[in-house]
Amino acid sequence: MPTSSASTLKNDRFLRALARQPVDRTPVWMMRQAGRYLPEYLQTRAEARDFMSLCRNAELACEVTLQPLRRYALDAAILFSDILTIPDAMGLGLHFVAGEGPRFHHPVRDRATIEALPVLTAETDLDYVMNAVRTIRGALNGDVPLIGFSGSPWTLATYMVEGGPSKDFGIIKGMLYREPDTLHLLLSKLAEAVTDYLNAQIRSGAQAIQIFDTWGGVLTTPAYQAFSLDYMTRIVNGLIREHDGRHIPIVLFTKNGGQWVEQIAASGCDAVGLDWTTELGSARARVGDQVALQGNMDPTVLLGSPDAIRSEVKRTLESFGHGQGHVFNLGHGISQHTPPENVSVFIDTLHELSPQFHR
Ligand code: CP3
């Protein structure tokens, strides 16, 4: 069956902004836009056995991908899946502990275990993800582009070595300072797996790619370069950049990575995602027109009053300023405690205020 073909997009603002081309208003999507703050998500999740069953069912994954787009005029869809699908497919035994987040039954902490990790073929080992991408592309019918994603090698490694979420990353950082070659071996294997996984998503229909480096910001500057950014750069160099007649843009998001925006911009990516701790305007001055910027409203603003939301949307737009190359987003994933009506205030305000930044 052919995948959706050399498609015209009804709304290409997101891709245009990533290419730093003119747009009529600032495009927007939200990290973790499908999720527990939406009652309809909770209902669909109750139909699946658990979160991973939801990811493995293409029809249900498609349904929850589209749910936020039915409520809000967002300019991109993001594949409903998780960054931990790769270690799960490698056999680490992913499970979720209520209230504590993801865990692995078999963390990897020594060289022999890392050497024995299987080499994945994403098309087959993660075929459920590719099925979801194809199903979502079909259902979107060209309304907005579909973003595919992966975790960065460093961020995946933190979960694989720590065995779950961590406060101080003592186990993996201990490995970094005791056995750097062992950690480099793990990161090399992950960089290959991520490259193959993202290329399979692109071939299946993903029209842009975001790499989530959620934990790069816990590293020192030289360690960030050597243990996170170098591997993301390797991935950027290995990705399909032209598919179905279109450039495939890549967004690199390092949480707490604002101090490294120049280095990240030099990776060959199309855009740098920023959290709220960096001023967009100063980041823009530092990268010039090398890349687009994505971000960066603090997601907790959406727990505040409508007036606070409106004023932070305005402040964020003013911080970037006039002209091309801004994709509006939150600085990290939306909180599960967000009242859905506050998202409407956010998106409506953006639609009202952002056109003046493009005249
Ligand atoms: O953005 C989207 O809407 C697409 C879906 C998406 C999910 N996870 C769905 C999800 C994306 C892009 C992710 C990425 C992800 N997963 C990251 C990187 C982004 C970030 O937030 O920094 C990370 C670190 C993970 C690992 C992970 N998976 C965590 C920390 C959790 C939350 C655990 C919890 O109980 O809070 C998950 C599970 C998860 N992934 C949920 C969703 C909607 C919640 C599962 C549920 O329904 O209970």
Mean pLDDT of all residues in 333-355: 98
The encoded tokens of residue 316 equal 């964020």
The encoded tokens of residue 84 equal 């931990």
CA of 64 to the centre of ligand 1 (A): 13
Q: Where are the domains of the chain?
A: 13-358
Is the C-beta atom of 273 inside 6 A of ligand 1?
no
Where in the sequence numbering do the catalytic residues fall? 32, 36, 45, 82, 159
If you average pLDDT over every residue of the chain, what do you get?
A: 97
Is the C-beta atom of 36 inside 6 A of ligand 1?
yes
pLDDT at 3 over 60: no
pLDDT of residue 1: 43
In the block, tokens 């060209």 appear at 142
Give the nearest ligand 1 atom to 45 CA: 47
Q: Kindly indicate the confidence band of residue 230, based on its pLDDT and cuts at 50, 70 and 90.
A: very high
The encoded tokens of residue 353 equal 């205020």
pLDDT of residue 97: 87
The encoded tokens of residue 132 equal 């979801």
CA of 324 to the centre of ligand 1 (A): 30
| Residue 179 to residue 110: CA distance in whole angstroms | 9
Instruction: Give the torsion sign (CA, 254, 287, 194, 9).
Output: positive
Mean pLDDT of all residues in 31-53: 96
Testing ligand 1's pocket by substitution, the residue of 28, 30, 32, 88 carrying the most ligand atoms inside 8 A of its CB is 32
Mapped onto helix, strand or coil, the DSSP state of residue 260 is helix
Mean pLDDT of all residues in 215-244: 98
Q: Kindly indicate the confidence band of residue 2, based on its pLDDT and cuts at 50, 70 and 90.
A: very low
Adjacent-strand bridge partners of 103: 95
Residue 35 assigned ligand-binding role: yes
Query: pLDDT by residue (tens digit) across 182-224?
Result: 999 999 999 999 999 999 999 999 999 999 999 999 999 999 9
CA of 83 to the centre of ligand 1 (A): 7
Q: What is the total residue count of the chain? A: 359
- Helix then strand then coil, in percent of the chain rounded to 5, is 50, 15, 35
Residue 159 assigned ligand-binding role: yes
Query: pLDDT by residue (tens digit) across 73-98?
Result: 999 999 999 999 999 999 999 999 88
Query: pLDDT by residue (tens digit) across 270-307?
Result: 999 999 999 999 999 999 999 999 999 999 999 999 99
Pair 345, 311: CB distance under 8 Å: no
Q: What is the dihedral of CA 351, 352, 353, 354, to 10 degrees?
A: 30
DSSP code at position 227 = I
Q: What is the maximum span of the chain, computed from C-alpha positions, in angstroms?
A: 59
Encoded amino acid at 152, one letter: S
Query: Percent of the chain, pLDDT > 70?
Result: 98
CB atoms within 10 A of CB 91: 13
Predicted interface score ipTM higher than 0.85: yes
* Exposed/middle/buried for residue 11 (C-beta within 10 Å: 0-12, 13-18, 19+): middle
What's this model's pTM, rounded to 2 decimal places?
Answer: 0.97
- Residues contacting residue 9 through CB under 8 Å, at least 6 positions apart: 15, 142, 143, 144, 145, 207
Residue burial 235-248, b: 16+ Cβ < 10 Å; e: rest: bbeebebebeebeb
pLDDT of residue 22: 98
- Residues contacting residue 153 through CB under 8 Å, at least 6 positions apart: 186, 187, 190, 191, 194, 228, 231, 232, 235
CA of 229 to the centre of ligand 1 (A): 22
Q: Kindly indicate the confidence band of residue 313, based on its pLDDT and cuts at 50, 70 and 90.
A: very high
pLDDT of residue 4: 46
Residue nearest to atom 33 of ligand 1 (CA): 101
| Residue 50 to residue 47: CA distance in whole angstroms | 9
Is the C-beta atom of 214 inside 6 A of ligand 1?
yes
- CA atoms within 13 Å, Cβ hemisphere of 166: 21
Residue 96 phi, psi (nearest 5): -115, 130
Q: Does domain 13-358 have CATH number 3.40.1160.10?
A: no
